Structures are given as structure tokens and as C-alpha cells.
Amino acid sequence: MPTEPTSAADDKIRCDACPVMCYIKPGAAGACDRYANHDGCLVRVDPHIVLERTVSHGGRLVPFQAGGDWDGKLVHEPDVFVTAIGAGTTYPDYKPAPFIVSSEVDGVDMVTVVTEGIFSYCGVKVKIDTDRYLGPETATVRAQGEAIGHVTTSEYGSQMLSLGGVHHLTGGSKKEGRVTCDALMDLSNCKPVELTIDGGATVVVQAGYPPIVNGVPEERMRVGCGSATIGMFAKQWHGKVDEVVVVDDHITGVLSEHQAGKVLDIPDSGIKMKGRRSTPGRYFQVAEPGTGWGGTMISDPLSVLGPFDARKARPGLTMLMVSTTGEHAAYYELDAALQPVERPMPVDLRLSVERIQENCEPALCTVLFMAGAGGSLRAGVTDNPVRLTRSVKDALTRVTSGGAPVYVWPGGGITFMVDVTMLPAGAFGYVPTPALVAPIEFTLKLSDYAALGGHMDHVRPLASLKDSTETRSMPSPQSNGEPRS
Amino acid sequence: MTRLPQIRLLADGKRLHLQDGPIDLIVEAVGSEADRRAAYDAAVQRFNGLLDELCSELPLLRRAADPDRCPLQGAVARRMHTAVAPFAAAHFITPMAAVAGSVAEEILGAMTGAARLDRAYVNNGGDIALHLADGERFSVGLMDRPDASGTMRTIVIDVDDPSRGIATSGRHGRSFSLGIADAVTVLAATASQADAAATIIANAVDLPGHPAIMRCPAQDLQPDSDLGARLVTRGVGELSEAEIAAALEAGAASARRLLAMGLIDNAILRLHGESLVVAPKATEPTALQAPAAASAMERLMHA
């Protein structure tokens, strides 16, 4: 037998937890996957959760079954809700949905029709809180080299991606469909996915976490555009500096020219901006978009300035240049030749930059899953599918996804959106077609259910689920905004 | 040694969980209450000391099997050898390739010897031994992404099918693979045979010398691995559709040979999202629901 690599020879340890007596290398686990070598120490790998410690650390507990043993009564707690996760679905869909459950709520017999929908018409809308340039509008977004969606219109302080949809799932190559399906499922299950944008950036997106743009985690959303920032902070700068430029890919603001500066009688500084003037003190397109200052490509802010006007400028004039998030900032004084020279920033200006940072909210990625419940899925709920649609539109039927509230898009069909962080972990699955499997529940009054042609003979009381499924309390929706670690 | 096996009923009150060292079994017996209790008592009794029995012959179990001669003493060890012996002439294989299935079979045998059961299974980390009485059947779901809900395929095994063992091998499990298959699931007459065959077929799903495949000597990862300096698969990069098909076909050729030799009943090979099924033509529609279910799914997609 060949000899082992020399360096490792002495690092391995021998586990004595069982008679297999594995030799375990540093960083590796034994045959059981339960014991490992961590820096020369034998450690047990599987988690050992101590309830008291979780409580004392402020961890969140999910009650195993709120009321102790099942007492045979119908459930009264409003937070016990049967979700469709894992319910499975049926083929063909005219068969009743897997679980049609009734429970008594406020004296009204409620019906929850629980099914897992198979959605080939589905996708995710991703909002990425950053001013950094991710790529041109309509540019293709790729995962593992495959086209899975595109860049759509920017929103305030955020870049938007539209991913998935039937075109990428089933309209392209087999691989494109599979990669799209995997990316949608991972994004929907709150896992990180690396996306590359044609002619733009590489961004790691994970619902509820800051985006990572070209390897750099984004920290903050901008407080406003450059012009808005001038408006917000003009008074705080007044008397402390002669000129302020807030560099922004969208609208760069200039204090002395801006209406906010005029109101404060701030004199002309002789500054000359590049870019296209929109209204006084507001400039479009001072630089190409990029991942530098304020979502532009620049690393030297002076590159957005032309020469100062000698008739208005004077040596010693002071100027603050800052980005919309306060992430970049520099302080200058004009020399005898009216050239800006960088100087250490005075403390009160430093504080104003920190104030900008403080007012920027944490940058996050948010993922909305969007899908349409087709006619055949609806047929699993009622023998007259269109009546279910009407019932949803009339707000008689409440639609949820994994117990999470959804927004139902107005118009035809039942096209809904849901914030994926509101669903329990691992709620989304897939079938190899490829298409996503997502939970969907329709809740309505039992009498309304009968009226719209529901499968009344398949309704069963909630208590009957006891034997075949595990029940657990859903996390309350308001607790879902917290970041998960 | 102050080690005690872990023995408990799972939260559903029906299934038994037995764990000792690397052995981790989920057991279920279905029958009368008295039979079920007798079966679980027998399972626990057989389980106690089983790991020590195996470990007493561990050095021999980790050596390449001799195709003609079995030097081993213990019942489980001898079953391991019997399961790998048909492959030992043509391949490097140690009895360890069948350890999980052989243990599952041993515990199942203890239960069925002590009680009359309608159905029973012993699942040893995915290597499963089955018992079926007349009129009974098992549905077995295959998942290709354990982190997602939903099964990829469902296999139904009823009493008339010859298979009483299911095993899965591939590069993601606890044991190492010489091939690149994500999973090879084999149905065979016994769990130990299925276990050994799955190992052989998964090793055959390969693209020798392909630059996107990362390999590493087994002993660099586990110093006492029975695979010694043999290169085991650590990572598989991007493969073209043609390469995936070629690798699967190499595995399928191996599976078809084993099928012809009567060593397996069915095999399902999975690599990079692609599947290939090897089954005797006559039994495919009944034993494997998958192709029918998949096409039904295709039709249903535009819900």
C-alpha cells in the first residue's frame, strides 16, 4: 500500500466511541458521520439542543403540539392551520384534492382545501436592494450558464429580476428547464443562488439576506437619490462646508444649485458638473453605471466635475463629495489654481456622512414566488372551477400558500404572489417535468363550499388527520421578518 | 467500553429506531399487537452485540473478497461475503460493500423468525430489507433531492415480485464511490445482494480521465478505508448531455450484465438530473410505476 501523505500522519485520531475504532483525519468524520476530528479533538457532530440554553439565548421555540396530547376536540387555536406542504397532489386533477379538511372557527364550519399545486406557469420576482449596477434592463440572467430570466425595471433603491416562467421552464433546452427549476426552488426555499447577468454583475441572492454583488456583500439601501439627499441634509451642512455633491447613478445632487441650497442662500461655488442637467442642482448620467460610488462606475469622484468657474470659485472653497449611502465620502479644498485637493474630513462633516449611513436601511434580497392556479388544480377543489375563481375574487375564499398570506393578482384566473420567507422551511418541491410544487390552500365557509360545488363527500374533520399526519403550529406571520442565521 | 446501543420507538409509536456506532436502522413491523411486540423484541435482542460481532472480524471484512473461499465466521459477515463473491473475480470488492444490506437482512430475519407479520422492513440508511405476506405490497418513493419535498418516482413491490431488498449507492452517501453516479438504486432478491450490486453499478457509472471529475485516494479521507489508495469521487463538475448519457450507459451495461446473471431485478441510475432504468422487459410496467407516472406527470403539467 502506498504511504499516506506525511503531514497528515500524526494528525489523525482514533475514535473510541464504538468498536469500529475509526481513524479520523482533521476536519473529517468517522464511518458513522456522528463523530469528527475537530482540530485534533474528537467531537460529536449531530446537534445537541438544550432547551434552557435556547430560551436563555432568546431563540425561538416552536411548540411541538401546543395543548399537550390530542384531546379529541376540534382545534380552537387560530394558529393551528393545516397547510398543503407535503400533502401531495393527485392525477388527474378532477379527483378531489388530497385533504379537504373542516375545522370549526368562531362557530362557523370552515373548510380548508389543501393541495400541492404543480406549477409550470410560475416564477419568482426578486428585489435586490442596491444601487450598484447589476446589468442593463432586459439583460439575460443566468444560473450555471443557463438563461433563467431577465433584468426588469428598477424600483426605488432596488434592482429587480424576473426569473423563471414557462418559457425558461419548458420552452428551452432540457438543461435550461432543469437549471431554472432548481434555481426557482432554491430561491423559494430561501437558499442562496449565484446569478450572472449578461453584460453586468454576478450576484448571490438569498431571500432575507443582503445581496452579494461581485463578491462584495451590500450593506445598505440608499437613503434617497442624490437630489433627495441634498434636500434632507442641506440644513445640517449649512455653514460647515461651501459645496456638497451627492454622487448618484440616477440623480446627482449639487447643494449650491439645488432648491434646498437656494432657500438657505448658499452662494454659487463655480462648480461645473458633467452629465445632463435635469432641473437646477439635479444631474442625470454624470457617469456610466457601475459598482463604484453611488451606483456609478467611478472610483474617483472628481471625475464627474469639470473645471471650476474662475469668476465664481475662490481658493480655499470647501467641498464634500458623498455617495447616496454614505459608503463613499471625500473632502476637498480648492488650491490657488482652483484645483480640488483632498483634505482630512472635519469631524462635523464626518458625522453628517455617518448620519446618511444611519438613515439607510439594511439592504436585503426579497423573493416573491408567483404562480397561477390552473383550471385542473381548481377542479380538485370544486366540480365547477370557475366558481372557485369568482369566490376568491369576491373575497369569500381566502387563499394561502403554506399558511402564508398571498396577494391574488386582479383579473382572470388565480395568480398569486407570496413572500417565500413567510413559508415554513422546505415548502417548495418540484417534479421533473420540470415544474415547481408549491402549497396552496383555499379556506372558505362550509356552506359557501357546498354552494360552489365542493367535494362535500370528501370533507373530513381536522381531528381525523391526527393519525396520518403530524401537526405543528405555524409561526405567526409577524415573526417572520427577522433575519435567519 | 461504556457504549450502549440506542433503542427507542419513534414519535409515531409504530417504528423502532436502533442505532449503534455507524449502524442506524428504522424498523417497522405490521401485524397483530402481540406479533409486533415479539418482532421488536427479537430485533432488539439480535441488535445487541451485532456491531461487536462484526468488528471482531473487521480487518478481514476490509480485505478484498476471495471469490471462492470465505474465511469469515459470523453470520452477518458470511452473508456480506456471499453477496460480494459473485463480483470478486472481476472487480476489487470487499465484504464491506454489503454491510448495510446484510445487517438489515439479519434484523429482518430475526423478526420474521419470531412473529407472523403482514409486512415488515428494516431500513439501514437507505439499504432496505423487506418482508411481505400474501396480498401485501410496499410503495417505495425515490427522491433525488432530499432537501426538497416530493418524490421523483414510486416503485411498488407486491408479494409476487421477486425483490425483497432495495439498496442505493452513489457518491453522496456515507461510503465512498469509485464512480460518479448521484444514485444507483437496485432491487434484488435480498438486501445484501442489492447492496453489493448497487456498489458495483454505481462504480461503473463513470467517465475515466474526465477533467471535471475530482478524485482523491480514499485513505486520504479515511485512513482505514477498505478502498485504500483507490481514487474515490469527491466532486463532479459540468458535464455535457452526451457525457452524462455515456456515463449512464456504462453503468447500464454493468446493470444489464447483473440482470442477465439473475443477481438483480431492477436498477435505476441517476446522474446530473438524468435517469436510466434497467429492468426485465416483461416486469417493467408492473414493478416500476415510474415511466408511466412520469408521462402522466408530463400531461398534467399545464395545470
Q: Chain A interface, mutation test: which of B55, B147, B295, B300, most A Cβ atoms within 10 Å?
A: B300
- Give yes or no for A107 touching B (CB within 8 A): no
Radius of gyration of chain B (CA): 19
How large is the average pLDDT for residues B236-257?
94
Q: What angle do CA A314, A275, A263 make, to 5 degrees?
A: 55
How far is it, in rounded angstroms, from Cα B133 to Cα B158? Answer: 9
C-alpha cell at A461: 374533520
Residue of B nearest to A7 (CA): B220
- The residue with cell 461510503 is B175
Reported as a pLDDT band with limits 50, 70 and 90, residue B296 is: very low
pLDDT for the residue A20: 85
C-alpha cell at A5: 501523505
- At A249 the three-state DSSP class reads coil
Closest CA to A207 of A151, A287, A125: A125
C-beta separation of A456 from A96 below 8 A: no
pLDDT for the residue A115: 52
Query: Is residue A348 located within the same domain as residue A248?
Result: yes
How far is it, in rounded angstroms, from Cα A145 to Cα A131? Answer: 25
Query: Is residue A211 located within the same domain as residue A261?
Result: no
pLDDT for the residue A278: 87
pLDDT for the residue A258: 93
Residues of chain A with C-beta less than 8 angstroms from the C-beta of B52: 19
Peptide bond connecting A477 to the previous residue in cis, omega within 30 degrees of 0: no
Cα A99 to Cα A86, A90, B37: the distances in Å are 11, 11, 32
Query: Is residue A256 located within the same domain as residue A210?
Result: no
Long-range residue pairs from B51-59, CB within 8 A, at least 24 positions apart, any chain: B51/A18, B51/A19, B51/A20, B51/B5, B51/B20, B51/B21, B51/B23, B52/A19, B53/B77, B54/B99, B54/B103, B55/A18, B55/A19, B55/A20, B55/A21, B56/A19, B58/A20
How large is the average pLDDT for residues B264-289?
74
C-beta separation of A230 from A281 below 8 A: yes
More confident residue, B117 or B294: B117
Torsion of CA B115, B118, B122, B126, to 10 degrees: 170
Final residue before a domain boundary, out of A217, A251, A267: A217
Question: Which strand (E) or helix (H) includes residue A236?
Answer: helix A226-237
How far is it, in rounded angstroms, from Cα B290 to Cα B303? Answer: 20
DSSP-derived pairing of the beta strands A407-408 and A414-419 = antiparallel
- Give yes or no for A22 touching B (CB within 8 A): yes
Around A283, how many Cα atoms within 13 Å sit in the side-chain half-sphere? 23
The DSSP bridge partners found for residue B268 are B185, B277
The DSSP bridge partners found for residue A296 are A289
- Give yes or no for A26 touching B (CB within 8 A): no
What is the amino acid identity at position B114? A
- At B166 the three-state DSSP class reads strand
Under-70 pLDDT residues of chain A:
1-10, 45-117, 374-382, 457-485
Number of CB pairs, chain A paired with chain B, less than 8 A apart: 123
Peptide bond connecting A385 to the previous residue in cis, omega within 30 degrees of 0: no
Closest CA to B121 of B112, B131, B113: B131
Question: Is A31 in contact with B223 (Cβ distance < 8 A)?
Answer: no
Query: Is residue A164 located within the same domain as residue A263?
Result: no
pLDDT for the residue A294: 82
Residues of chain A with C-beta less than 8 angstroms from the C-beta of B51: 18-20
Long-range residue pairs from B283-291, CB within 8 A, at least 24 positions apart, any chain: B283/B161, B286/B156, B286/B161, B287/B155, B287/B156, B287/B157, B287/B161, B287/B163, B287/B187, B288/B153, B288/B155, B289/B153, B289/B154, B289/B155, B289/B156, B290/B142, B290/B152, B290/B153, B290/B154, B290/B155
For residue A334, tell me if it sits in a domain: yes
Range of the domain at B191: 6-300
Query: Is residue A311 located within the same domain as residue A275?
Result: yes
pLDDT for the residue A62: 43
C-alpha cell at A204: 448571490
- Determine which of A463-467, B223-227, B272-276 has the lowest per-residue pLDDT on average: A463-467
- Give yes or no for B149 touching A (CB within 8 A): yes
What CATH number is given to the structural domain containing B159? 3.10.520.10
| Strand arrangement of the beta sheet that strand B16-20 belongs to | B6-9, B16-20, B23-30, B119-124, B127-132, B165-169, B183-188, B266-271, B274-278
According to DSSP, residue B47 is labeled H
According to DSSP, residue A71 is labeled -
How far is it, in rounded angstroms, from Cα A440 to Cα A364? Answer: 26
| B60: pLDDT strictly greater than 90 | yes
For residue A78, tell me if it sits in a domain: no
For residue B210, tell me if it sits in a domain: yes
pLDDT for the residue A116: 58
Query: Is residue A418 located within the same domain as residue A335?
Result: no
C-beta separation of B51 from B80 below 8 A: no
Reported as a pLDDT band with limits 50, 70 and 90, residue B143 is: low
- Complex ipTM tops 0.85: no
Range of the domain at A128: 122-217
CB nearest B148 (choices: A30, A91, A430): A430
Residue of B nearest to A2 (CA): B229
In chain A, how long is the greatest CA-to-CA distance?
A: 91
- The residue with cell 369566490 is A391
For residue B158, tell me if it sits in a domain: yes
DSSP-derived pairing of the beta strands A13-14 and A23-24 = antiparallel
Mind listing the pLDDT tens digit for each residue in B78-117? 999 999 999 999 999 999 999 999 999 999 999 999 999 9
For residue B57, tell me if it sits in a domain: yes
C-alpha cell at B301: 403539467
Query: Is residue A379 located within the same domain as residue A320?
Result: no
Length, in residues, of chain B: 303
Mind listing the pLDDT tens digit for each residue in A180-189? 999 999 999 9
Q: Please count the other Cβ atoms lying within 10 Å of the Cβ belonging to residue B228.
A: 15
For residue B66, tell me if it sits in a domain: yes
| Strand arrangement of the beta sheet that strand A212-213 belongs to | A216-217, A212-213, A202-205, A193-197, A140-143, A146-151, A158-164, A122-129, A365-373, A414-419, A407-408
According to DSSP, residue A448 is labeled H
Please give the full DSSP string across B238-295, using - where no structure is assigned: ---HHHHHHHHHHHHHHHHHHHHTTS-SEEEEEETTEEEEE--TTTHHHHB-HHHHHH
Final residue before a domain boundary, out of A161, A188, A217: A217
- The residue with cell 392525477 is A91
Residues of chain B with C-beta less than 8 angstroms from the C-beta of A375: 303
Task: Please state the domain count of chain A.
Answer: 4
Query: Is residue A202 located within the same domain as residue A250?
Result: no
Backbone angles phi, psi at B297, to 5 degrees: -60, -40
Final residue before a domain boundary, out of A217, A237, A267: A217
pLDDT for the residue A272: 94
Reported as a pLDDT band with limits 50, 70 and 90, residue B281 is: low
Cα A381 to Cα A14, A279, B17, B298: the distances in Å are 59, 57, 38, 21
pLDDT for the residue B194: 96
Task: Please state the domain count of chain B.
Answer: 1
Q: Please count the other Cβ atoms lying within 10 Å of the Cβ belonging to residue A394.
A: 9
For residue A155, tell me if it sits in a domain: yes
Q: Please count the other Cβ atoms lying within 10 Å of the Cβ belonging to residue A307.
A: 12
For residue B198, tell me if it sits in a domain: yes
DSSP-derived pairing of the beta strands A140-143 and A193-197 = antiparallel
Q: Within its chain, how far is the Cα of A397 from the centroid?
A: 28
DSSP-derived pairing of the beta strands A23-24 and A41-44 = unpaired
For residue B1, tell me if it sits in a domain: no
Which stretches within A238-276 are classed as H helix? 259-263
Query: Is residue A341 located within the same domain as residue A424?
Result: no
CB nearest A17 (choices: B3, B145, B220): B3
pLDDT for the residue B150: 52
DSSP-derived pairing of the beta strands A23-24 and A158-164 = unpaired
How far is it, in rounded angstroms, from Cα B220 to Cα B1? Answer: 28
CB nearest B294 (choices: A178, A430, A432): A432
